[in-house]
A and B are shown apart, each in its own frame.
Chain A
Amino acid sequence: MNGKIPIIEIKNLSYRYERENILENVNLSIEKGAFLGIVGPNGSGKSTLLKLILGLIKPQKGEIKLFGEDSKHFRDQQKIGFVSQKANSFNTGFPATVYEVVASGLTKKLGLFRSLSKRDAAKVKEAVASVGMEAYMDRNIGELSGGQQQRVFIARALVSEPELLILDEPTVGVDAENVQSFYEMLEELNKAGITLLLVTHDIGVISDKVTNVACLNKGLFFHGTPSEFEEQKIGLSEIYGHEVQLLTHDHHEEAAHT
């Protein structure tokens, strides 16, 4: 699973907004097949880092390479799936069915002037089924619960068969009950070979799922495995200014002992 091909390579990345440093000299690389959790408090620059990776804003200093190519010239966006925070991404009254929302994930891949073929339609249905939402295919997106909507957005990201899936606080607005099954689904996707980048302010709940943890607070303070993260947590809580909680799942402890 852990090949050595970096999917994202960030070198000396800095970003300022209105005289305030948002990101300072960040160096980070994500290898193919990894499941990286980026954790940091509010205002730590997590969202800015994602925007830079996604090309929504341009780096001021340093560089980002996506699949070996400078992000400024990167045009293969269909290789990257993106799931944003549910809360601020869409108008819940929007009259679109689950099928239509997921189909919109093919927009870039198909390119201008082309509409969906029968094969594309089958792909859309497959993506909806892969997140367990096939029973809701023709329902309006606004009628679903937060957790169901987030599954639909995962399907939209998956339909273009991305190699990298980026998730920005995907469980905000999802009820606790469904959060666990949501992360289990992510784990399955990672096992299926998709590289995952998950941004969250709460690493605790996913520490047994990710393969790597990165801690961001303007600069990068830590990058390693969840068990290494656990060992250093006292120092980190000092950096954060509050207690960092990390629940280590059994198999990590087993791995640490063996």
Chain B
Amino acid sequence: MISGIFQYEFLQNAFLSGMIIGIIAPLLGVFIVVRRLSLIADALSHVTLAGIAASLFLGKYSTLFLGLNPLYMGMAFSVGGAVLIEKLRSVYKHYEELAIPIILSGGIGLGVIFISLADGFNTDLFSYLFGSVSAVSRTDLWTIIIISIFVILVIRLIYKELFLLSFDEEYAKATGIAAKSIHFIFIVMVALVIAASMRIVGILLVSSLMTLPVAASIRIAKGFKQTIFYSILFGETAVLGGLFLSYYLDLAPGGTIVMISVLILILTVVFKKLAVRTAV
């Protein structure tokens, strides 16, 4: 396979995209998990599906959309969904979590309508749902690279504020941090990363790449920076291992990546138990 990476462009695309996503998805995931927003990733991935389906549907009937990478409309829907979630959260002040099932089911409902209207697609919908090693194009790769540079740069710039907002929202507001703007920038980044990760890991499993490595990392890490470090390490291991298995065993990478993440999670739980026992 290593030689395959040099030989085939599609493998290069998949592996490079995977390596990048293995960094940015868990990086944002740390903030998502500690802020107890894990389900937002699920809601936004389903909205992305609606965008992809809309793009594929329109492509069938209009040449204007035929040449358009479905990823772009997926992203637009995802960011739109993120904005809607924020609006709904302020409408239902006492039931903030309601925003998530509303957007999640709305997204999948809309997606299903587009899929039925299109009466089947030329492009394999399966690869959007569960990821694919062969479907990542050069333009996908470039889009993913640009999003990642943007996300890493922004996180670097507002790391302090994001940390404080995640740790203690009331205190952050009391100290005069622009909590609303920071949160908005954050949620838009989440939407973009979800759309970017979807090519590799698939819409249905994209949230797992943001949460499972973090869940494992939290078990063993000391402090926040270490949590980020281990999350990226586990995310990267899962993505690369998953892509490798996917290529050789001819399985959808979404499945293999998530199963490796689950395995890492189990190992960290066992490791922590053993460590506590030996310490006692």
Contacts and interface: CB of A to CB of B under 8 A. Distances in A.
B223 A138 contact: yes
Nearest to A76: B176
Interface string A52-89: 00111000000000000000000101100010100011
Interface stretch (A16-24, A29-37, A96-104): A96-104
A140 B223 contact: yes
B174 interface: yes
B164 interface: yes
A108 B176 CA distance: 7
Given A82-B174, A90-B168, A110-B160, A97 B223 contact: yes
B175 A78 contact: yes
A106 B161 CA distance: 10
Given A95-B227, A96-B224, A112-B157, A56 B173 contact: yes
Contacts of A95: 34, 217-218, 221-224, 226-227
A223 to B, nearest CB: 24
Contacts of B174: 54-56, 77, 82, 84
A53 B182 CA distance: 23
A91 B223 CA distance: 14
A104 B160 CA distance: 7
A137 B36 CA distance: 26
B68 to A, nearest CB: 35
A54 B172 CA distance: 11
Nearest to B157: A113
Given A91-B36, A96-B167, A107 B161 contact: yes
B171 interface: yes
A78 B120 CA distance: 59
For B36, B157, B171, the residue with the greatest tally of chain A CB atoms inside 10 Å of its CB is B171
Interface in A111-132: 112-115
A100 B160 CA distance: 10
Interface string A192-223: 00000000000000000000000000000000
Contacts of B171: 82, 84, 89, 156
Contacts of A105: 175
B223 A100 contact: yes
B161 A112 contact: yes
A145 B226 CA distance: 22
A146 to B, nearest CB: 16
B118 interface: no
Contacts of A88: 170
B104 to A, nearest CB: 24
B177 interface: yes
A197 to B, nearest CB: 13
Interface in B119-167: 157-161, 163-164, 166-167
A100 B225 contact: yes
A90 B223 contact: no
A118 B124 CA distance: 54
Interface string B24-36: 0000000000101
Given A96-B224, A104-B167, A107-B164, A91 B176 contact: no
Contact of B163 (A84, A99, A104): A104
B170 A56 contact: yes
A173 B173 CA distance: 23
A83 B156 CA distance: 27
A55 B167 CA distance: 20
A93 interface: yes
Given A82-B175, A107-B177, A100 B224 contact: yes
Nearest to B230: A95
A89 B168 CA distance: 6
A84 B172 CA distance: 12
Q: Which 5 A-B pairs have the closest CB atoms?
A: A77-B176, A97-B223, A95-B227, A108-B175, A54-B174
Given A55-B176, A104-B163, 8 more contacts: A84-B171, A89-B171, A94-B224, A95-B227, A96-B163, A104-B164, A113-B158, A140-B223
5 contacts: A95-B217, A95-B218, A100-B223, A104-B167, A114-B160
